[in-house]
Amino acid sequence: MRKLTNLILICWIACALSSCEKAQIESYQNDPRIHIMSGSGGRITAVQYSFAIRNSSVIKDTVWVPVRIMGLADAKPRKINFQVVSSETTAQEGKHFSLTDYTMPAGEYKTNLAIVIFRTPDLQDTEVKLQMKLLPSEDFEVGVGTNLDYSLTINDILSKPDNWDGTLQSRFGVFSKVKFRFMIDVLGSEVIQTITTTSILLNELLYYKQKVRNAWIDYEQVHGPMLDENNNPITFPA
């Protein structure tokens, strides 16, 4: 009898949960909502972007903000209201960033919202902030919780890597911003991130060292001595 009672209780709870879930789904069908998606590292609330480790030729880029609906897809595109929070933003629209009209494509449950950002001279010594927020639109209410705000900081500040005085100085010589910028342009941002933030095999590091040195030799044959930001000659160890 006791086992039967427990079984009935379990069935009753399952039905109750199912009914609750069904009611929730139906409510989202009638009242569709939208929120910023969580990434692999958890909720996305703040992102920092630096042009500093990008090639000098990169003058603009696009940051993508993933959003998802709560409810069903629709046969027509639906308007997404993603707005700048002026009181918390120091970046200037048209100078540091540009936005567009945002929609959820027909038949889709999620999409990416594009923020185009620009590399401007002032970012070399100043960091700017863009604060965005999802707001209700004619097609969506906002989701429940805190996945509505998005903060993006942008800079082009080139700083000395933490491991330069150890591993890198013995291979590339004395640090300067001009030298490091030259290395970024020669090796690319992916390699730079690898050699400045992770352990790397010696033979790989020696390969990158020689690649940079060869490029430096070629540069000086065409342009003459390469000078750093303090007008000192730049050299790379043999």
Distance CA 161, CA 184 (A): 12
According to DSSP, the β-strands at 46-50 and 149-155 are parallel
According to DSSP, the β-strands at 38-39 and 97-98 are unpaired
3-state secondary structure 60-107: EEEEEEEEEEECCCCCCCEEEEEEECHHHCCCCECCCEECCCEEECCC
Which SS3 state, helix, strand or coil, does residue 232 take?
coil
- Give the mean pLDDT of 92-121: 97
**pLDDT tens digits, one per residue of 66-90:** 999 998 999 999 999 999 999 999 9
Residue with tokens 């007008």: 231
**pLDDT tens digits, one per residue of 171-219:** 999 999 999 999 999 999 999 989 988 788 889 999 999 999 999 999 9
- Give the mean pLDDT of 109-121: 97
Is the separation of the CB atoms in 105 and 77 below 8 Å?
Answer: yes
Find the range with the poorest average confidence among 10-24, 68-82, 118-132.
Answer: 10-24
Distance CA 150, CA 178 (A): 33
- Give the mean pLDDT of 217-230: 96
Other residues' Cβ atoms within 10 Å of the Cβ of residue 42: 7
Q: If we measure between CA atoms, which residue out of 158, 125, 197, 129 comes closest to residue 55?
A: 158
Q: How confident is the model at residue 27 (pLDDT cuts 50, 70, 90)?
A: very low
Kindly report whether the global pTM for this prediction surpasses the value 0.85. Answer: no
- Give the mean pLDDT of 113-129: 97
Distance CA 169, CA 236 (A): 10
Q: Is the pLDDT of residue 2 over 90?
A: no
Please work out, in degrees rounded to the nearest 5, the angle formed at the alpha carbon of residue 181 by the alpha carbons of 177 and 184: 140
Q: Is the pLDDT of residue 41 over 50?
A: no
Q: How confident is the model at residue 147 (pLDDT cuts 50, 70, 90)?
A: confident
